[in-house]
């Protein structure tokens, strides 16, 4: 149904008539001329024809004025729009940006890439599929930082993941603070479901809190934590003192304590499988938000009025 955004502009329609009525007409003050009746009738007939021509000349400017006023009133059409599916879930993604994420022991599209590049590609694609979730991004290294607030704008969150860089949060690994900051942001959330996805490729070697203690806090808050242990080697099977290994046991314990699921990722293919598994675990179906979207139509009468002005200007130059 078409309606007007500002219908009060229609009050301007009679403005040209009011202006013509207020401007006094031209009064001829010369001497009167007496003519025969036949000549007078001829002159009156010519005057009527001239008035008719004048009326026709005013028709196009009047139409242009009408179109301009309609354009100002803002005609618009209410169109049905597919409602956003809302899951009722707050989903916080906590990504490890410690120095070990620069290791280039992953392959993506046939090319050798760093761990961070693999996470950026797969993680951003995962976030873009989370339409209906309120998503936030936390990054952690030596310290934890809130990179993006909870938002339904998954595209903006995905871009933040793609722009993440090593060193912004320090080069150590502070899993406790990364998870703790995610929980702090969920403290006042009224979402029906609260989930954290925690990805790390190292051993928690910063911070004074035990990650397992933070996991128990998550369980008390009703927050489910899914963990991703990233890297070819883990602490349990590596040689003593070997660098670049992930503490898969601690991440697995975090998930178990909070009621989540733990994933072990050694290759880019594993990482892709994990995101698909998370899609199944945390489906995004839900009720839709009601929305009203208008399609603006003012451009059409404005365009016709502009063409009319061009025509009037062209005729006046002839």
**76/29: higher pLDDT:** 76
Confidence of residue 208 (pLDDT cuts 50, 70, 90): confident
Host H or E run for residue 307: helix 299-316
Average pLDDT, stretch 6-30?
77
Positions of E strands within 152-267:
193-200, 223-230, 262-265
Flag whether pLDDT at 2 surpasses 70: yes
Predicted pLDDT at 313: 79
Predicted pLDDT at 98: 86
8 A C-beta contact, residue 88 and residue 286: yes
- How many other C-beta atoms lie within 10 A of the C-beta of residue 199? 23
Residues counted in the chain: 318
Predicted pLDDT at 176: 92
How do residues 75-125 score in pLDDT, each as one tens digit? 988 876 655 566 678 999 999 998 888 888 788 777 888 989 999 999 999
8 A C-beta contact, residue 90 and residue 136: yes
8 A C-beta contact, residue 226 and residue 195: yes
Name the CA radius of gyration of the chain, rounded: 36
The structure's pTM equals: 0.64
How do residues 40-53 score in pLDDT, each as one tens digit? 455 455 555 555 45
Predicted pLDDT at 27: 56
Average pLDDT, the chain: 82
**56/257: higher pLDDT:** 257
**237/309: higher pLDDT:** 309
Flag whether pLDDT at 138 surpasses 60: yes
Tokens describing residue 169: 């949060």
């Amino acid at each position: 149904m078409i309606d007007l955004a500002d219908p009060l502009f229609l009050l301007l329609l009679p403005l040209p008539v009011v202006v013509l009525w207020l401007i006094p007409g031209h009064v001829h003050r010369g001497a009167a001329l007496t003519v025969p009746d036949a000549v007078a009738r001829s002159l009156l007939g010519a005057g009527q024809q001239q008035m008719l021509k004048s009326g026709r000349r005013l028709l196009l400017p009047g139409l242009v004025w009408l179109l301009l006023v309609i354009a100002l009133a803002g005609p618009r059409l209410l169109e049905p729009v597919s409602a956003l599916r809302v899951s009722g879930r707050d989903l916080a993604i906590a990504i490890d940006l410690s120095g070990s994420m620069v290791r280039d022991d992953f392959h993506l599209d046939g090319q050798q890439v760093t761990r961070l590049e693999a996470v950026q590609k797969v993680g951003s694609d995962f976030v873009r599929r989370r339409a209906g979730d309120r998503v936030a991004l936390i990054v952690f290294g030596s310290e934890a930082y809130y990179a993006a607030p909870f938002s339904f704008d998954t595209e903006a969150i995905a871009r933040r993941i793609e722009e993440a860089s090593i060193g912004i949060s320090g080069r150590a690994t502070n899993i406790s603070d990364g998870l703790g900051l995610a929980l702090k942001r969920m403290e006042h959330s009224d979402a029906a479901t609260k989930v954290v996805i925690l990805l790390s490729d190292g051993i928690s070697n910063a911070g004074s809190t035990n990650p397992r203690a933070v996991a128990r806090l998550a369980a008390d808050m009703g927050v489910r934590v899914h963990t991703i242990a990233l890297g070819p080697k883990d602490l349990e099977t590596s040689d003593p003192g070997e660098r670049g290994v992930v503490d898969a046991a601690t991440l697995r314990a975090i998930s178990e304590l909070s009621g989540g699921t733990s994933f072990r990722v050694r290759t880019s293919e594993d990482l892709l499988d994990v995101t698909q598994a998370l899609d199944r675990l945390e489906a995004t179906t839900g009720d839709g938000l009601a929305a009203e979207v208008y399609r603006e139509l003012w451009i059409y009468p404005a365009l016709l009025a502009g063409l009319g002005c061009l025509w009037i200007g062209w005729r006046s130059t002839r």
